[in-house]
Structure 1
Amino acid sequence: MFPIRDHNPSGRVPHVTRLLIGVNVLVFLAYWFALPSEMALARFFFDWGLVPARIAAGEGMATFVTSMFLHGGWMHLAGNMLFLYVFGDNLEDEMGHGRFLGFYVLSGLAAAGLQFAAEPASTIPMVGASGAIAGVMGGYLLLFPRAKVDVLFFFVIFFRVIPIPAWIMLGVWFGLQLFNGAMTPADVGGVAYWAHAGGFVAGLALCLPLWLRRGGPGFWARTQGAPPHPEAVYRVARSSIPRVRRGGPGPWG
């Protein structure tokens, strides 16, 4: 289950969101095709990804920033950029370009900080923009909890696009980060769940002053909890499962 779009395109061009997507893609392509081997890639991640044990030793402080622009593979990159594309434009529209960029970076730093605090002795490099993007999702939840988000739901061979309120999709996502973070041993590599949770909470906190300036609950009342733009309407085609007539050949002929 993951989002593919929301129903509220931004009112102006999201230059920073597009720039961040472009930079992440270009950085990924630069090292992914330049490094000659898996060993070289692992060394690159150790040098430029965030390694908590190095930070604890007072080394590699710059990796709090550089790790935000590295990804472990094509699906890692594509998933993160999809989430940024879906949720970034409306937040940038509400904040303004410069403030949104600062918000993104601060969310990423907070995410990395919580991951370091959770596993300070880990020697596994953390890479990815997901902590910063989790901050964008947290800010989106606070400002636009009732915005419609189209979620692509998979179950074996069945799939369907379902529009649901943002608070449900984002609330479930945040709950999964907390659950998986609590259930995953600290010495096991994989998804940085605590970075996701930290970025999400940081995004909520950083957006709180803006929400209060807009009127707090009064802002929700004026906007009905959605971005203040006309809602886009999409035609969603229902998925179908191939049917096999009783006694007839299978779909493979």
Structure 2
Amino acid sequence: MLIAAARRAAPRAAPCCIGTVRTATRRAHQLPRAATTAPRRPKITTPRRSFLALPQGEALPVVGGLIGANCLVYGAWQVVDPRVMTRHFTLSNDDVLQYPHTLVTSFFSHASGWHLLGNMVTLFFFGPEAIGALGAARFLAVYGGAGLVANSAQLATNAYANMRRDPYFRTRSPRCLGASGAVNAAVAYGCLLNPWRMIIVFAEFLPLPLPALLYGGAFLAKDLGALFDVHIPYVSDRAHGIAHGAHVGGTLV
């Protein structure tokens, strides 16, 4: 009876053991899910805000701080000796080696209230979107780097223009200032981030909607045409006293 019971029990135990071994072997050959699934790149999202809403989150202190710094320097122009401000807050090929800090201070300085207003309004609308995609630290690196590249490009433009003149007609380098080069980096980044959104441009006081990519292209062509003395109908900017080299340098950053 004991032998018969053992014989009946043996066939039942074997399938259970074999099934367990097969399951363990199959699991051993399977790779972990983390190793077979490639990590997904986070999607860039930008905060949505209404037309005149204040920047939110980390964009508020960054944009507010930059606007405040530019307004503070403009206020200094009204009360401080103009010779001191010219020496330390404008950029010139003639004395940039003597005052290297003007590579930075000049792009916080503006010649007039309209100059300041135009740059700060542009920064107000395009800055928060770039900060939302890049983060505050990276945006400040781009903004500051664009300002330095823009100023360097303008110094090179001034030197080249003077070199082309006959030695008898060469003059001292013009003095440059303004945040346009740094602000242009934020504008260009916003146009590339959402190239098909509509931007309203006022042409002779008439609102004209343009895709951001087309607006950005015209924005760059305006300065390139003036820089190389090529006339582009309805686009070229032939106004005097504009640092087109700085605009192009900041945009390309």
- Work out whether 1:31 is the aligned partner of 2:70: no
Cα displacement string for residues 188-207 of structure 1 (whole angstroms, at most 9, x for unaligned residues): 961000100011001xxxxx
- Work out whether 1:192 is the aligned partner of 2:240: no
| Cα distance in structure 2, aligned partners of 1:48 and 1:172 | 30
Superposed, which structure 2 residues align to 1:108-119 within 5 Å?
A: 108-119=147-158
Q: Which residue of 2 aligns with 1:87?
A: 126
Identity of aligned residues (%): 30
Superposed, which structure 2 residues align to 1:184-223 within 5 Å?
A: 190-202=241-253
Q: Which residue of 2 aligns with 1:175?
A: 221
Cα displacement string for residues 217-253 of structure 1 (whole angstroms, at most 9, x for unaligned residues): xxxxxxxxxxxxxxxxxxxxxxxxxxxxxxxxxxxxx
| Cα distance in structure 2, aligned partners of 1:97 and 1:47 | 27
> 1:162: Cα distance to partner?
2.9
Paired amino acid for 1:28: Y
The verdict on how the C-alpha distance between 1:190 and 1:199 changes in structure 2, with shifts beyond 3 A counting, is same
> 1:43: Cα distance to partner?
5.5
Higher Cα radius of gyration? 2
Greater per-residue helix proportion: 2
TM-score by length of 2: 0.66
Q: Which residue of 2 aligns with 1:45?
A: 86
Unaligned runs of 5+ in 1: 1-6, 203-253
Q: Which residue of 2 aligns with 1:128?
A: 178
| Cα distance in structure 2, aligned partners of 1:49 and 1:27 | 11
The verdict on how the C-alpha distance between 1:192 and 1:24 changes in structure 2, with shifts beyond 3 A counting, is same
2:88–2:101 CA contact under 8 A, matched in 1: no
2:194–2:212 CA contact under 8 A, matched in 1: yes
SS of 1:114 mapped into structure 2: helix
The verdict on how the C-alpha distance between 1:26 and 1:87 changes in structure 2, with shifts beyond 3 A counting, is same
Q: Which residue of 2 aligns with 1:149?
A: 199
SS of 1:52 mapped into structure 2: coil
CA RMSD of superposed structures (Å): 2.3
| Cα distance in structure 2, aligned partners of 1:42 and 1:197 | 29
SS of 2:95 mapped into structure 1: helix
Paired amino acid for 2:59: P
> 1:8: Cα distance to partner?
4.7
2:198–2:209 CA contact under 8 A, matched in 1: yes
Q: Which residue of 1 aligns with 2:111?
A: 72
Paired amino acid for 1:47: H
Cα displacement string for residues 90-122 of structure 1 (whole angstroms, at most 9, x for unaligned residues): 001100111111110001101011111111365
The verdict on how the C-alpha distance between 1:113 and 1:180 changes in structure 2, with shifts beyond 3 A counting, is same
Q: Which residue of 2 aligns with 1:14?
A: 59
The verdict on how the C-alpha distance between 1:62 and 1:88 changes in structure 2, with shifts beyond 3 A counting, is same
SS of 1:183 mapped into structure 2: coil
| Cα distance in structure 1, aligned partners of 2:56 and 2:67 | 19
Cα displacement string for residues 55-92 of structure 1 (whole angstroms, at most 9, x for unaligned residues): 3xx22111110001100001100111111112111001
* Larger deviation, residues 67-76 vs 11-20: 11-20
Give the number of the structure with larger relative contact order, counting CA–CA contacts within 8 Å between residues 6 or more apart: 1
1:49–1:70 CA contact under 8 A, matched in 2: yes
